[in-house]
Amino acid sequence: MNYQECLETVKELNEKFRYYKSIESLFEYDQWSSLPEEGTAYRQQTAAFIGDQKNALYQGDKAREAAKYLSGVKLNEIEDEIERGLIRTFRFRYRNAVHTPEETLRSYNLIKADCMKAWNQARAAQDYGIFMPWLKKAFDLKKEIALAIDPDAPAFDTLVGMTDEGLSVKEVSEQFDVLKEGIKEILNQTKAKGSTGAEEIPDIPDSDPDQMAAFGQRLARELGYRPERGGFNDRVVHGFTSFMGPRDARVSAYKSGSYNLIFTCLHEAGHAMYSCSSSDRVAEAGMWGGIEGGFHEANARFFENMVGHSHAYWEYYYPQLQEEIPLYRQIPIEQFYKLTHRVRPTLRRISSDEVTYSLHAILRFELERDYFAGELKAEDMAEAWNDKYENYLGIRPSNDTEGVLQDMHWAGDYIGYFQSYALGNIYDGQILKAMEKDIPDMEDLLREGKLSPITKWMEDKIWQYGCCYTAGEMVEKLTGSRLDAAPFLEYLRRKYL
């Protein structure tokens, strides 16, 4: 095989891999919206079959030959970003497919259902002890898999790299320490200033869910999310986006009368616009969809927070909200703004504010890191969890269900995943800083409801490249520096102090 033949093989495998991924997205979309209970078992078999097919792609002779040849190629010497991205992702998938030990993976897949069952039982009994042995099994099998994939790297580095490719645990830890200290300082100062005022602001009662959904969807469209490239689905219990194809990303959001639905719509529209705005060339090469992990989250949170939680944005949209939903006519904009910016530590990430949000993700990352480094035992996880909440957020869960059992991530195969939620914020600080350099009148634009220069910037600078770059490469391309928590802290201070 010569270089050109290898490249053809890589393209061909990538195309098939993307087809399987799209099928998996359709399955996920269906699972959360309409899959009937008695259809679950057969769907699991079908999904397992698709997963096997996807993995087998990289285990054939052609893949092996291409991998052998391409292992000697220096990525930074390839000029074309699509070609470079194709080869990088090929090597990554090949490594994972070939080195994942089948026996261990089978054992892991076999305990998945039990893990989830034990987690549910433990939650009902408020007793981590029921889930603990399963957590230990799941973590240890993951560790075995990670060490088989890359025997030269610590297991947790490999696991983190599966979600956020190219980042080391050391680099993430360093920036998380900066972020953590900065947030603690902001929290102390807001308390000192008495500006959080969380208790005094009365919450807004729910209004008509149909009206709220219509308003949230309109705002998503006005951001630039085009329904002909997706559409809205409200037959779900939580918000998510499904990436079906290069020009097809569906937004799912739980229909409710709460204003939170607006922010869910903006968040998911961010994911969706990112996913379906790759250039034609990138889309044709099968490199559409955007960079996975923390960087995708950054694109969603940018529209939820930097845009959707800015005062200027609501100066334009609040009168329209009042026009559409009569309940809001009695509520002044300042009350709404304060309510959507109250800083108050909670026990749950999903109900947390913009300032404390990252802490929930950081502490979870640290618990995993310490476990995989052998410094924390499964038996001590619930206690360590509570200690961290008390230390970082000043509140202690009163039972395991409020604490270590609060969400399904660890029971549902999301191990080495949590950093991505906080990384999203860090990247957002860096993206905002780069954007403000090019669009110094960003606030004026928001105030006038002119959003297209912002989405156009995202498209030109980030979206058009799909997943050709890693997050680290993309951030360096945008800002000239690597992962850096300082700009996000600067944004928080500007807004909250």
Least Cβ distance, residue 60 to Zn ion (angstroms): 34
**With respect to Zn ion, which residue has the nearer C-beta, 58 or 232?**
232
Pick the piece of the chain touching Zn ion (CB under 5 A) from 141-149, 169-177, 295-303, 436-444. Answer: 295-303
Those residues whose C-beta lies under 8 Å from the C-beta of residue 127, and which sit 6 or more positions away, are 400
Q: Which is nearer to Zn ion, 234 or 297 (CB)?
A: 297
Nearer to Zn ion (CB atom), residue 297 or residue 366 = 297
Provide, rounded to whole angstroms, the least separation between the CB of residue 241 and Zn ion.
Answer: 7
Which 16-45 residues touch Zn ion, going by CB under 5 A? none
Which CB atom, from 57 or from 300, has the smaller least distance to Zn ion? 300
Residues 246-265 that bind Zn ion (CB under 5 A): none
By C-beta, is 122 or 298 nearer to Zn ion? Answer: 298
Backbone angles phi, psi at 250, to 5 degrees: -95, 135
Window contacting Zn ion (CB under 5 A); options: 107-115, 137-145, 296-304, 396-404:
296-304
* 300 near Zn ion, rule: CB under 5 A: yes
At its nearest, how many Å lie between Zn ion and the CB of residue 282? 22
Residue 197 CB, nearest approach to Zn ion (Å): 28
Nearer to Zn ion, 252 or 386 (CB): 252
Q: Which segment (51-59, 152-160, 292-300, 407-415) binds Zn ion by CB under 5 A? A: 292-300
Pick between residue 57 and residue 253 the one whose CB is nearest to Zn ion. 253
Contacts 24+ apart (CB under 8 A), 1-5: 1/65, 1/66, 1/69, 2/69, 3/69, 3/73, 5/66
User: What minimum distance in Å lies between the beta carbon of 367 and Zn ion?
Assistant: 22
Contact 110, 102 (CB under 8 A): no
Tell me the closest approach of the beta carbon of residue 141 to Zn ion, in angstroms.
27
Nearest distance, CB of residue 270 and Zn ion, angstroms = 8
Nearest residue (beta carbon) to Zn ion: 300
Nearer to Zn ion, 106 or 238 (CB): 238
Closest distance to Zn ion from the beta carbon of 271 (Å):
6
Task: Select 403 or 416, whichever has its Cβ closest to Zn ion.
Answer: 416
Q: Does 159 bind Zn ion (CB under 5 A)?
A: no
Question: CB of residue 375 vs Zn ion: minimum separation in angstroms?
Answer: 30
Give the footprint of Zn ion on residues 365-404 (CB under 5 A): none
Nearest distance from residue 406's CB to Zn ion, in Å? 18
For residue 30 the two structure tokens come to: 């269906």
- Can you read off the two tokens belonging to residue 454? 């912002």
Q: Which stretch binds Zn ion (CB under 5 A): 10-18, 147-155, 178-186, 297-305?
A: 297-305
Please count the residues of the chain: 497
3-state SS string over the chain? Answer: CCHHHHHHHHHHHHHHHHHHHHHHHHHHHHHHHCCCHHHHHHHHHHHHHHHHHHHHHHHCHHHHHHHHHHCCCCHHHCCCHHHHHHHHHHHHHHHHHHHCCHHHHHHHHHHHHHHHHHHHHHHHHCCHHHHHHHHHHHHHHHHHHHHHHCCCCCHHHHHHHHHCCCCCHHHHHHHHHHHHHHHHHHHHHHHHHCCCCCCCCCCCCCCCHHHHHHHHHHHHHHHCCCHHHEEEECCCCCCEEEEEECCEEEEECCCCCCCHHHHHHHHHHHHHHHHCCCCHHHHHCCCCCCCCCHHHHHHHHHHHHHHCCCHHHHHHHHHHHHHHCHHHHHCCHHHHHHHCCCCCCCCCHHHCCCCCHHHHHHHHHHHHHHHHCCCCCHHHHHHHHHHHHHHHHCCCCCCCCCCCCCCCCCCCCCCCCCHHHHHHHHHHHHHHHHHHHHCCCHHHHHHCCCCHHHHHHHHHHCHHHCCCCCHHHHHHHHHCCCCCCHHHHHHHHHHHC
Q: Which is nearer to Zn ion, 131 or 225 (CB)?
A: 225
* Residue placing its CB nearer to Zn ion in the complex, 190 or 425: 425
Contact window for Zn ion (CB under 5 A) among 24-32, 93-101, 294-302, 400-408: 294-302
Nearer to Zn ion by C-beta: 295 or 385? 295
Q: How many of the chain's residues bind Zn ion (CB under 5 A)?
A: 2
Q: Is 231 left (phi over 0), alpha (psi -120 to 50) or beta?
A: left
155 binds Zn ion (CB under 5 A): no
Rounded to the nearest whole angstrom, what is the least distance from the CB of residue 425 to Zn ion in the complex?
12
Q: Residue 421 Cβ, how far from Zn ion at the closest point, in Å?
A: 8
Please report, as ranges, the residues that interact with Zn ion according to CB under 5 A: 297, 300
